[in-house]
Amino acid sequence: MISIKGLNKIFKSSSGDVTAVEDLNISIPKGEIFGVIGYSGAGKSTLIRLLNRLEEPTSGEVIIDDQDVTKLSTNKLREARQDIAMIFQHFNLLWSRTVRENIAFPLEIAKVSKQEREKRVDELIHLVGLSGREDAYPSQLSGGQKQRVGIARALANNPKVLLCDEATSALDPETTDSILDLLVDINEKLGLTIILITHEMHVIRKICHQVAVMEHGRVVEQGDVLDVFLHPQQPVTKRFVDQIMGDRDEEDALSTIVSQHDSGKVLRLHFVGEKTNQALISEIAKRFPVAVNILHGKITQTKKGAYGTLIVHIDGSSEAIQEAIHYIEETSVEVEVTSDVS
């Protein structure tokens, strides 16, 4: 559906060239929710503006539905942009227009008849959950309602791709979740491909199928969200995963247990999918002459399934501990020996 090949963006200034995006290569399947995550200055917002040529690329290709957007003339680009909608962090609504009039605006530009406009606007108001607020002005809406108007307006011309540039960053956590749920609903009902830019791993975890991690203008890691959670390779990715799975209490527990015991091992267990429901600890205690002390645990949900970590201290003879570890590994639960207590 979307193929990004060798994409580069260099900003020239009197103080020297600045490379915002460098040699990006990404493939995004049709109908997926694809997340791009990075800290401030990583180049993610520049990337999303390159996809619809709000920024002109220095080099490279952006192919959407077999059409290279970077090579389109001005008129052809205007047509293509009807298939590439965008929503923004700060909503970008027309403050002198009502909800209905804001949503109708792109249809007016496209010269859609009044009767068809009204029908389409009614459909969109219902889709985004704004029934009863049609005649309200943006100043009378909450942040979440404003973003729902922005989403409805973006969908007016039945786009194939929806670009979301930090679309939930200005919202509180509860409202963020409601907007994310709406995006999932739209993705499933309309088969819309969604590209979502964010600096929050919670957003990626909750709704994305795949993720690309950006740093200093480059994609340093990408793949299925669950795989990235399980096996983060780069330091920046590990920091993002720690937003969801990390906890200072974990390190405190580890240091405390090491100082209070003179034998055994501290293990970090990684559970995926149905394995998160296994009664593994009680089985170990029944089968082997070891003592197991749970130090810390956490489970989170991704689009591809649950992912959990459990940190335990296991004590007993060296042979019994090794047998218990081997048993755990046979259940397909990943085992990491964090430390030997000695």
The crossing angle, in degrees rounded to 10, of helices 143-155 and 173-190 is: 20
Beta bridge partners of residue 86, listed in sequence order: 163
Taking CA atoms, 180 is separated from 3, 83, 184, 207, in Å, by 25, 21, 6, 7
Asked if 21 contacts 7 with a C-beta cutoff of 8 angstroms, the reply is yes
Summarize pLDDT for 192-204 with one digit per residue, the tens.
999 999 998 889 9
What is the residue extent of each domain of the chain?
Answer: 2-243, 246-340
Read off the pLDDT of residues 289-339 as tens digits, 9 standing for 90 and up: 998 888 877 777 777 677 777 888 889 899 999 999 988 888 878 888 876
Class of domain 2-243: alpha beta
Question: Please, what is the angle between helix 99-109 and helix 143-155, to 10°?
Answer: 20
Class of domain 246-340: alpha beta
Check residues 209 and 278 and name the one with the higher pLDDT: 209
Number of H helices, E strands in the chain: 12, 14
Task: Flag the least confident range among 120-134, 227-241, 253-267.
Answer: 253-267
How deeply is 274 buried, as exposed, middle or buried, from its count of CB atoms within 10 A (0-12, 13-18, 19+)?
Answer: exposed
- Whether the CA torsion 284, 286, 291, 296 is positive or negative: it is positive
pTM comes to: 0.81
**Pair of tokens at residue 187:** 């993705």
The pLDDT tens digits for 281-301 are: 888 888 999 988 888 777 777
Amino acid identity, residue 56?
E
Above 70 in pLDDT, residue 255? no
What is the biggest distance separating any 2 CA atoms in the chain, rounded to whole angstroms? 80
43 pLDDT more than 90? yes
For the cut 60, the answer to whether the pLDDT of residue 276 exceeds it is no
Strands (E), the chain: 2-11, 18-28, 33-37, 59-64, 67-68, 84-88, 161-165, 193-198, 210-215, 218-224, 265-272, 291-302, 305-315, 334-340
3-state SS class at 301? strand
